[in-house]
């Protein structure tokens, strides 16, 4: 189910999945050495962004600030082996400032109000590619979207 190149609308199944999950694995890299980190996230449907909180001094943030090309995965909070679902993505890491920061604060803290009490800054990933595997549609069924 590839997206129509004339229509940049993301499949509704992908949106529902992104809203239902809480954790992403973010992959960054430096000097050809990959690095992964897990972060709680919120999906900003209006801007098609993953929003997460992390400290500026972590490896993944330092690397993403140097090279904003990132990748990652999202799996359901509860895995059901017979109903495999998951997302692989590529995107651009964004250091949120000004209006964007104010906008994503609303999205993130609506999902995680308790996170205001924890240190860190809000960051975002703008999707450039999404591939969702959804075996509830048939074994190995993929839904793809590309910016």
- The pLDDT of residue 102 is 96
82-99 as b/e: b if 16+ CB within 10 A: eebbbbbbbbebbebeee
**pLDDT band with cut points at 50, 70 and 90 for residue 110:** very high
Q: Report whether pLDDT(97) > 50.
A: yes
- The pLDDT of residue 4 is 44
CATH of the domain at 128: 2.30.110.10
**pLDDT band with cut points at 50, 70 and 90 for residue 134:** confident
Q: Report whether pLDDT(141) > 50.
A: yes
Residue 1 in any domain: the answer is no
Q: What is the pTM of this model?
A: 0.88
Residue 54 in any domain: the answer is yes
- The pLDDT of residue 135 is 77
Residue 5 in any domain: the answer is no
- How many domains in the chain? 1
Q: Report whether pLDDT(7) > 70.
A: no
Distance spanning both ends of the chain, measured CA to CA: 15
Torsion, Cα of 44, 48, 54, 55 (10° steps): -120
Residue 7 in any domain: the answer is no
23 close to 75: Cβ distance less than 8 angstroms: yes
Q: State the CB neighbour count (10 A cutoff) for residue 145.
A: 22
Q: State the CB neighbour count (10 A cutoff) for residue 73.
A: 16
Residue 139 in any domain: the answer is yes
For residue 133, the enclosing domain spans 12-146
Q: Report whether pLDDT(6) > 50.
A: no
Residue 2 in any domain: the answer is no
- The pLDDT of residue 132 is 94
**Residue-wise pLDDT tens digits, 57-85:** 999 999 999 999 999 999 998 877 777 89
- The pLDDT of residue 78 is 84
Q: Report whether pLDDT(15) > 70.
A: yes
């Amino acid at each position: 189910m590839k997206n129509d190149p004339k229509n940049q609308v993301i499949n509704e199944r992908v949106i529902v999945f992104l809203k239902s999950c809480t954790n992403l694995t973010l992959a960054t890299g430096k000097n050809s050495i990959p690095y992964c980190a897990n972060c709680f996230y919120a999906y900003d449907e209006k801007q098609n962004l993953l929003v997460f909180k992390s400290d500026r001094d972590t490896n993944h943030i330092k690397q993403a600030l140097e090279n904003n090309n990132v990748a990652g995965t999202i799996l359901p909070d509860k895995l059901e082996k017979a109903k495999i679902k998951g997302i692989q993505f590529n995107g651009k890491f964004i250091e949120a400032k000004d209006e964007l920061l104010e906008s994503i604060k609303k999205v993130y803290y609506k999902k995680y109000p308790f996170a205001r009490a924890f240190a860190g800054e809000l960051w975002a990933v703008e999707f450039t590619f999404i591939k969702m595997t959804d075996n509830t549609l048939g074994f190995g069924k993929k839904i793809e979207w590309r910016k």
